[in-house]
Amino acid sequence: MKKILQITLGIVTSVGGFLEIGSVTTAAQAGAAFGYQLLWAILLGTICLIFLVEMSGRLSAVSKHTIVAAMRERFGFPFFFIVLVGMTLVAFLVLIAELGGIGFSLQLLTGIGFPWWAIPVSLLVWLLMWKGTFGLIENGASLLGLVTISFVVAAIKLHPDWSGVAAGLAPTLPQSDKAHYGFIAVSIMGASISPYLMYFYSSGAIEDKWDESYVSVNRFIAGFGMTFGGFLSMAVLVVAAMAFQPRGVRVDSFDQSALLMTTALPRWGFYLFAISMLFACFGAALEVSLAIAYFFAQGFGWSWGEDLEPSKDARFAFVYTIIILLAAIPLVFGIDPLKVTIMSMALTAATLPLAIIPFLFLMNDPVYMSKHRNGWISNSVVAIIIVISFVLAVISIPLQIIGG
Amino acid sequence: MDLVRDVMDKKLVDRKDCEMGRVDGLVMHVGPSSQPRITHILVGGTTLWMRLGPVFSGISARLARLWGPKRTESVRIPWSRVKTVGRDIKLDVMARDTGAIDWEIWIAHHIIERIPGSGTEEEE
Amino acid sequence: MRLERLLVFPILFCLGCKPPSPAEQMDSMLSWLATARMTGEGWLRHTTPDTYSRQTLEMSGEKIDQIAADLLRSPPSGVDTATLDSLFTRSRVRVNAMARLIAAKNAPDFGGQLDSLGADEKRVKQLADSIEHKQ
């Protein structure tokens, strides 16, 4: 029973990793521009993520290695270093976007411009990592993240055409604006299948001291957690389709996205959106920062762990301190977080093969997985995800140029 | 034992299970009439960066001379100190004595412990 | 090889940004007019706070100004430039006036401006449709 409570790892991974500035923005853009037509992209992203996250947890529980540690040991230092550089660059952009998202939420609530919030917000994120334990971050972010359920409430209150919603779950092509449609589809996939999610979940399983007995509950946690996040993203799309599309409002800036729930929930919608984004982006910022620090520490063999005091894992603490500091700088100078968000989604999609291909090998290696190696279903799904990730990698940048 | 699979890049832990880096290189003795055997494990330094190429090795050596514990050469640990080779490689040493965590100690003393709340108070 | 691929992306991105077509620019204009109207309605119904409403209206005004300048620099064929110019200017002035009325908390006058903005929006929509047909 206690294992089921570990659902919080699933929820925090999902709310911080799945539902964050990127997925909310892309879902809102999708709904505003194309109605329910892009729901299939969120569904596809969710299914892919369920499998990837489940495998991340299984790898850690069985092998007692995180993905990064296993990747270094199995593929050697040069390969690890290439993935380190790629993943760090993309994750760093995501971190800037998330810190910007927190700042923007505070701008909505207080009227004070988000560049002013860059330093205080970064300091708070850093402080939570400096003094907090993994359990505090995991449970705190999950609990606070539950406010995002308001997106689902808003969607239901608007009484959408449910048959139209259902139809949106199957891929269709739009009448016009195909490049823009393609770009948003790719961005949704890039926002959904974020590798840092896998690294975070895998490290979290080690932080929570999972072992082989967690293999079956991991399936439930990964499945439930990612479905929860996917569901929330779909709710955002549905609300945007009903609130923005009929009026012709496109979500080209965060300020427009703030109007998302004002139609469905007149009294509280504006504030619920701001608070939901605040907590979701906070969770995401913590998750991304930790994922980057985990990557360095686990790959190089340093001591690491959120439950350790910083003086006991100095290099790990040093990495997250530096990256949070560096991420705040562009925000102080007023860089548009939305532009960074869009770019980070496209780059995530473009670098996905780097993260997923090694994973396929690890999940079939008896040295790490013993009798819990992937079955044919999981392998088929990963193979499909690799194909999707190559397609995304090839088309994401041209699409950004043409349709972005 | 398969050196690449079982030894290279494996995590090293000391007598107290303290993490001390990874196996970044190996020194082998090739005698005229004997089987090649491992004499030392190499950790960090130029050995690690040389695996990416001489450019990286050069850059890391230059940076190491300017900053940090000012050590450029890799740490050498005699193979005789290896207790077990399993999930990790357990060594019969104390991490601090080998020099493998010099960077960890340097960053802890010079940066981390200067920031309040880093947890050094308990040590006093 | 992968490292090189990563470096190519930002370069490509910077080099290849395609300017939007007139139809796309009109869509963008309509989007910001609709945003201004939605924000205005929200303020009247007390669903959006004063500061946000005023800031968003100001931003909408700036965006309308930007898009109008771009459109008039290379105007779409078959549309009277003077008509476009006066319509866009009127919308921008109205949106900015609405922002000032929020600061003055003048709801009745604000309501009047909001209704007129709706009419402006309809007119821009008609022009946008005719531009799209001509393309």
CATH assignment of the domain containing A194: 1.20.1740.10
Interface of C with A (CB under 8 A): 2-3, 5-6, 9, 12-13, 16-18, 27-28, 30-31, 34-35, 37-39, 42, 45, 47-49, 51-52, 55-56, 59, 125
Write out chain B residues lying below 8 Å of A312, CB-based. 119
**DSSP 8-state code for residue B42:** E
Q: How many CA atoms lie within 13 A of A260 on its CB side?
A: 39
Highest mean pLDDT: which range of A382-386, C43-47, C71-75 = C43-47
- Determine B/C contact with 3+ CB pairs under 8 A as the test: no
Contacts across the A-B interface (CB distance below 8 Å): 73
Task: Report CA-CA distances (Å) from A98 to A188, A304, C87.
Answer: 16, 23, 38
Kind and range of the H or E run holding B82: strand B82-85
Which residue in chain A is spatially nearest to C9 when comparing CA positions? Answer: A397
User: In this predicted structure, what is the pLDDT of residue A274?
Assistant: 97
| Domain presence at residue B80 | yes
- Choose among C62, C122, B49, B11: nearest CA to A247: C122
pLDDT bucket at B1, cuts 50 / 70 / 90: low
- Choose among A171, A215, A194, A279: nearest CA to A59: A215
Minimal Cβ distance to A318: which of B107, B122, B123: B107
CA distance A354 to A194: 12
CA distance A36 to A241: 6
Whole-structure pTM value: 0.91
Task: Give the residue numbers spanning the domain of B42.
Answer: 3-116
Q: What are phi and psi of C67, to 5 degrees?
A: -65, -40
Q: Are A76 and B25 within 8 A, CB to CB?
A: no
- Average pLDDT across chain B, whole number: 88
**DSSP 8-state code for residue A263:** T
Average pLDDT rounded to a whole number, residues C51-79: 91
User: In this predicted structure, what is the pLDDT of residue A257?
Assistant: 95
Write out chain A residues lying below 8 Å of C28, CB-based. 250, 252
**Could you read off the pLDDT of C96-122 as tens digits, one per residue?**
999 999 999 999 999 999 999 999 999
pLDDT bucket at C12, cuts 50 / 70 / 90: very low
Q: Are C94 and C117 within 8 A, CB to CB?
A: yes
Q: Are A402 and C19 within 8 A, CB to CB?
A: no
CA distance B94 to A318: 23
A55, amino acid identity:
M
Kind and range of the H or E run holding B20: strand B19-22
Whether residue B90 has pLDDT greater than 70: yes
| Domain presence at residue B11 | yes
Minimal Cβ distance to A310: which of B24, B48, B112: B112
| Domain presence at residue B13 | yes
**Could you read off the pLDDT of B26-71 as tens digits, one per residue?**
998 888 888 888 899 999 888 999 999 999 999 988 888 888 888 7
- Choose among A100, A15, A50, A53: nearest CA to A283: A15
For an interface test with B, give the residue of A64, A79, A300, A324 to mutate (most B CBs within 10 A): A300
pLDDT bucket at B122, cuts 50 / 70 / 90: very low
User: In this predicted structure, what is the pLDDT of residue A5?
Assistant: 67
Average pLDDT rounded to a whole number, residues C44-68: 95
User: In this predicted structure, what is the pLDDT of residue B87?
Assistant: 87
Q: Are A395 and A380 within 8 A, CB to CB?
A: no
Q: What are phi and psi of B12, to 5 degrees?
A: -105, 135
Q: Is the ipTM value over 0.95, yes or no?
A: no
Q: Report the domain count for chain A.
A: 1
Write out chain B residues lying below 8 Å of A63, CB-based. 87
- Choose among A87, A47, A48: nearest CA to A67: A87
Whichever domain contains B49, its CATH number is 2.30.30.240
User: In this predicted structure, what is the pLDDT of residue A381?
Assistant: 92
**Closest-CA distance of chain C to residue A198, Å:** 21
Q: Are A300 and B22 within 8 A, CB to CB?
A: yes
Minimal Cβ distance to A82: which of C3, C38, C42: C3
Retrieve residue B38's tokens: 């491992």
Task: Report CA-CA distances (Å) from B95 to A213, B19, B49.
Answer: 32, 8, 21
pLDDT by 10-residue block (mean), chain A, 404 residues = 67 73 93 96 94 95 95 94 95 96 96 94 95 88 88 96 96 89 88 90 91 91 89 96 96 93 95 95 93 96 91 94 96 91 85 90 93 93 89 78 66
Q: Are B40 and B77 within 8 A, CB to CB?
A: yes
| Domain presence at residue B121 | no
Task: Give the residue numbers spanning the domain of A221.
Answer: 2-403
Write out chain B residues lying below 8 Å of A69, CB-based. 11
Q: Report the domain count for chain B.
A: 1
Rg of chain A (C-alpha set): 20
Q: Under an 8 A CB cutoff, do B22 and A314 touch?
A: no
Write out chain B residues lying below 8 Å of A65, CB-based. 87
